[in-house]
A = this chain, B = another copy of it.
């Protein structure tokens, strides 16, 4: 017997989103129509029709021209899989990383399609840990507190703890990138900047754990030439001062 269906193993993100949308519509309104799908996905109805044909040929939906659309057993399985990934990612972004709900959803809905089985598994373990383990709950609280305070003063509980600790253990002390000697390397611990300056530095690749080497500092102290991941880069004095690192 010839297999007329197209393999749905390599389904596209777009089609997965259609499946997810149909899944939610059926759940909330009992039935999925072209119009509602178009509205939910923010596309024109004339884009939905060919997508439905493709899904139908893959055996993922039951679709007859001008009739209500339903998921097949196979389609529902796939829709649930995507939806499940969406859920855990959205919760991760919202409850763990602290994004607002619309941005959490935006990130989740983009990533749900590519998350591997094993990555999914690890997100689940993270939540099992956070929910089941007293230490996990505490971790989340501490992190959320630090994370929130950061936007404001950047002086939070763990900063103070670090300072106190550094008085005892000298080798663990942090130093600003600007104070690092030329030729020496450091590992970034914290980027003590705000707003667009912070974002610019992150986009340049100045991240926690990054190894940075001072190349040279202009006589006036500005700019500061650094080496980072095989490339040279120049920073303003203010920017260099805001990077806290440990020497390595």
Give bound CA distance, A129 to B190, whole Å. 9
Contact of A150 among B110, B125, B150, B231 (CB under 8 A): B125
Task: Give the interface segment out of A43-51, A56-64, A92-100, A217-225.
Answer: A92-100
A-B contact pairs, 21 of them (CB 8 A): A80-B205, A84-B205, A84-B207, A87-B205, A87-B210, A97-B122, A103-B119, A107-B115, A121-B198, A124-B207, A128-B191, A131-B189, A132-B162, A132-B189, A133-B142, A133-B158, A133-B161, A134-B165, A135-B138, A136-B158, A139-B143
Contact of A98 among B27, B81, B122, B191 (CB under 8 A): B122
Give bound CA distance, A77 to B88, whole Å. 32
Give bound CA distance, A146 to B123, whole Å. 13
Given contacts A97-B119, A127-B208, 11 further A-B contacts (CB under 8 A): A27-B229, A80-B205, A81-B203, A103-B118, A110-B114, A126-B143, A127-B209, A128-B190, A129-B158, A132-B244, A135-B139
Q: Which of A231-248 contact B (CB under 8 A)?
A: 231, 244
A117 close to B (CB within 8 Å): yes
**Which chain B residues lie closer than 8 Å to A125 at the CB level?**
97, 146-147, 150
Residue of B nearest to A28 (CB): B230
- What is the total number of copies of this protein in its complex? 2
Residue of B nearest to A145 (CB): B129
**Which chain B residues lie closer than 8 Å to A111 at the CB level?**
110-111, 114
**Which chain B residues lie closer than 8 Å to A157 at the CB level?**
133
Q: Contacts A119-B103, A121-B199 given: A208-B131 contact, CB under 8 Å?
A: yes
A11 close to B (CB within 8 Å): no
Distance (Å) between the CB of A158 and the closest chain B CB? 3
**Which chain B residues lie closer than 8 Å to A121 at the CB level?**
198-199, 202
A38 close to B (CB within 8 Å): no
Residues 142-179 of A, flagged 1 when their CB comes within 8 A of B and 0 if not, give 11001100100000011101100100000000100000
Distance (Å) between the CB of A23 and the closest chain B CB? 9
**Which chain B residues lie closer than 8 Å to A124 at the CB level?**
191, 202, 207-208
Which 9 A-B pairs have CB atoms at the shortest separation, nearest pair first?
A133-B158, A110-B114, A127-B208, A97-B122, A139-B139, A81-B203, A84-B205, A27-B230, A107-B119
A120 close to B (CB within 8 Å): yes
A106 close to B (CB within 8 Å): yes
